[in-house]
Chain A
Amino acid sequence: MTTSTARSRSSGTEPLLRVRGVKKSFGRVDALVGVDLDVPAAQVTALVGDNGAGKSVLVKTIAGIHEPDAGEIYFEGERVHIHGPRDSARLGIEVVYQDLALCDNLDVVQNMFLGRESLSHGLLDEDSMERAARETLESLRVRTVRSVRLNVENLSGGQRQSVAVAKAVMWNSKLVILDEPTAALGVAQTRQVLDLVRQLADRGLAVIMISHNLNDVFEVADRLAVLRLGEMVGQGPASEFDTQRAVELMTTGRYSGSPNGSDPAARKEG
């Protein structure tokens, strides 16, 4: 069991999510070959890896879109079986996919409540929804989205990302998974989104952030988990990594800086 020390904001005991030995194959392609992953609360865990490393498959397995062929998933210490997105949502796991899944023709409030609208007398309760949406955005210090009654199509990329993240945290979620949240964003907008990611962890949420961009990763992540060809080749506090080590792990699965090619952070997981 890993006890993360550096930059740890949690009590440092049981991680919120524990993935053990998860395997997933699609036909003859082994997408995940026995992956372990620990995701503690109140920390940002960056999931990095090259294309085809299995980041998406792993995340979709946690979200219930794929069912693992083998392995166990523990959530809050309990073994869980996640058979679909509804199961994961019930546990408090929310995924913000790269395409954000926003309806352009609906406004910010309508998007944040999509599928979970509050009703009064059987009709949409716009007042309470608008109030709750504003509170959530304010609590996340999202100041860029200044009118919650503007259609999402009129928002910039960073604002849309912020809305998608706010939507994910509205529902007492405990784990938020962000798929490439800063891809295709400009410098200033990346800044906003990374601040938001930090906010989530500071609120006590567990965050998994998939990213290609190691600058972003080292800026915001508390922990790193490096996947390569469906295998977890390194995992641990961000302070144990630097860019070079992360890149080497991503590309070769080994770190030349450590003797006999094995990686201490990976081995610690047992």
Chain B
Amino acid sequence: MSAQDGSQLEREPAETEAEAAMSAEFEQPRTLREYIGRWWTQIRAGNSGVLPVVLGVILIGIIFQTQNTKFLSAGNVINLLVQGAVFMLIGMGEVFILLLGEIDLSLGFVAGIGAVVVTELVQPGWGWPWFGAIFAALVVTGAIGAFQGTLITRLRLPSFVVTLAGLLGWQGVMILLLGEGGTIPIRNNVVNAIANGTLTRSGSWLLVVGVVLVFAILQIVQDGRRRASGLSAPRRFMTYLQILVAAIAGVGLVLISNVDRGVGRFQLSGMPIVLPVVFGVLVLWSFLLGRTRFGRYIYAIGGNAEAARRAGINLSLIRTAAFTLGALSAGLGGIVYASRLRSISTSFDGGTIVLYVVATAVIGGTSLFGGRGHPLHAVLGGIVIAAIVNGMSLLGLSAAVQLISTAIVLLASIMVDVVVRRRGQTAH
């Protein structure tokens, strides 16, 4: 409650930039050139979106490809995507929590618990069917998230400490569950197929064509309806351009997947099943965050928790639900991890994984300060992390170089995040 008349002076200069951004936004651009112009204005105003990470992926691709022409071979690209899938899945879980401005350090070992539950339940002793075991693993990991979320929201404990305890404790539980032997193989073909199986070639085509068609129809209907009622919507050619890009990406992915990447006489082609799994989770979580009240409130809490509280939003409920969904996504990531190795063992390093997962989300463009982020960021960041790890080992570089390079990429991303934030803040 202090009205200093002098304070008005320092507010003035920032307005011009903001208003420039506004008028650029107000007029729906007509031509591609205008779209690019507006995009550039947006980037300059601090809304760079996924541009940095996409540029990063391209840059990494060029660097490794010039060093080793195998890097962008069909087989290696698919291999890389599968390698990244675990980070992507757990990372999409971490995004929920980062959006709140919190952090979950336990997700690595929560993923481990998910892996152990599935592995144990499909053992001959229990003999659960694969779907039952996966369902149980997701329930268990979701319950862990709900438990930690409750401690954090109801008792107002810092998420850093509660999930740090989780990082230690769930590793202990994992070791207890795995028992003396330390390694348990997965005796279920369906579970092993999640990360190792592929669709048939025609199946890959069918899936991608179907997805692109559904996307195209939804996009045309929605944009058309919004245009008709005079709401802000992209021009018709932009809608078609988006669909075209999606179609090219989909077709490209199938073409790459369907190249024989087998070794010698052993043939292997078709899209790995884990890719549609990751895509499905991406669509589901994007939908939840973008189209439901729950998602809107997660962003609101991350942006301004006090404003959300005054708007009558039940903060504890939303926060706990976010921790639950985060842990559940991690559980799925753990299942994919175990599936890829066809086993789970006490050497599972959930501590390193969770740090990579946070890096994954941040590299993709999700802010550690809350309110800014998207599951897509975890997928893109997962590609970056997997590309670095994969490319380095392809070049025969040591673990030391890998770690240092990852560190540099991470630092570069957090710099982008902070600079973006600062630019956004100058405007008011």
Contact = CB atoms under 8 A, between A and B. Distances in A.
B349 interface: no
Given A153-B427, A154-B21, A156-B427, A51 B1 contact: yes
A131 B302 contact: no
A127 B47 CA distance: 23
A147 B26 contact: yes
B127 interface: no
Interface stretch (B266-274, B307-315, B329-337, B384-392): B307-315
Contact of A184 (B8, B23, B25, B229): B8
A270 interface: no
A104 interface: yes
Nearest to A185: B8
B23 A146 contact: yes
A58 to B, nearest CB: 12
A147 B316 CA distance: 33
A150 B19 contact: no
Contacts of B180: none
B229 A127 contact: yes
B308 to A, nearest CB: 7
A211 interface: yes
Interface in B1-59: 1-5, 7-9, 11-12, 14-15, 18-19, 21-23, 25-26, 45-47
B427 A101 contact: no
A263 to B, nearest CB: 24
B25 A149 contact: yes
A245 interface: no
B236 interface: no
A86 B313 CA distance: 12
B47 A186 contact: no
Interface string B92-110: 0000000000000000000
Contacts of A114: 296, 300, 307-308, 311, 313
A183 B313 CA distance: 28
Contact of A182 (B3, B21, B45): B3
A2 interface: no
B1 A186 contact: no
Given A103-B371, A149-B25, A153-B424, A86 B304 contact: no
Contacts of A97: 310
A211 B428 CA distance: 21
Contacts of B424: 104, 151, 153-154
Interface in A142-165: 145-151, 153-157, 159-160
Contacts of A147: 22, 25-26, 232
A56 to B, nearest CB: 6
B205 interface: no
A213 interface: yes
Contacts of B393: none
Contacts of B398: none
A251 interface: no
Given A115-B311, A154-B427, A101 B304 contact: yes
A119 B231 CA distance: 17
B296 A185 contact: no
B425 A153 contact: yes
B265 interface: no
A180 B302 contact: no
Query: Chain B: interface residue count, which band?
Result: 35 or more
A105 B21 contact: no
A186 to B, nearest CB: 5
B372 interface: yes
Contacts of A115: 308, 311-313
Interface in A111-169: 111, 114-117, 119, 122-124, 127, 130-131, 145-151, 153-157, 159-160
A127 B4 CA distance: 40
Nearest to A97: B310
A205 B424 CA distance: 34
Contacts of A103: 299-300, 303-304, 307-308, 371
B347 interface: no
A115 B318 CA distance: 12
Interface string A32-56: 0000000000000000000100011
Given A130-B232, A154-B45, A123 B8 contact: no
A146 B311 CA distance: 24
A235 interface: no
Contacts of B293: 117, 119, 124
B66 interface: no
B156 interface: no
Contacts of A102: 304, 307
A193 B14 CA distance: 18
B310 A101 contact: yes
Nearest to B290: A124
A115 B372 CA distance: 19
Contacts of B25: 146-147, 149-150
Nearest to B372: A105
A186 B11 contact: yes
Nearest to A160: B428
15 contacts: A102-B307, A103-B299, A117-B293, A124-B296, A131-B231, A148-B232, A149-B25, A150-B21, A153-B427, A154-B46, A155-B427, A159-B18, A184-B7, A187-B8, A212-B2
Given A105-B303, A147-B26, 15 more contacts: A51-B2, A89-B312, A99-B306, A101-B306, A101-B310, A103-B307, A105-B371, A105-B372, A116-B311, A127-B229, A127-B231, A148-B232, A156-B18, A156-B427, A190-B8
Interface of A: 51, 55-56, 85-86, 89, 97-99, 101-106, 110-111, 114-117, 119, 122-124, 127, 130-131, 145-151, 153-157, 159-160, 179-180, 182-187, 189-190, 210-213
- List the 3 closest pairs (A to B, CB-CB), nearest first: A115-B311, A103-B303, A212-B3
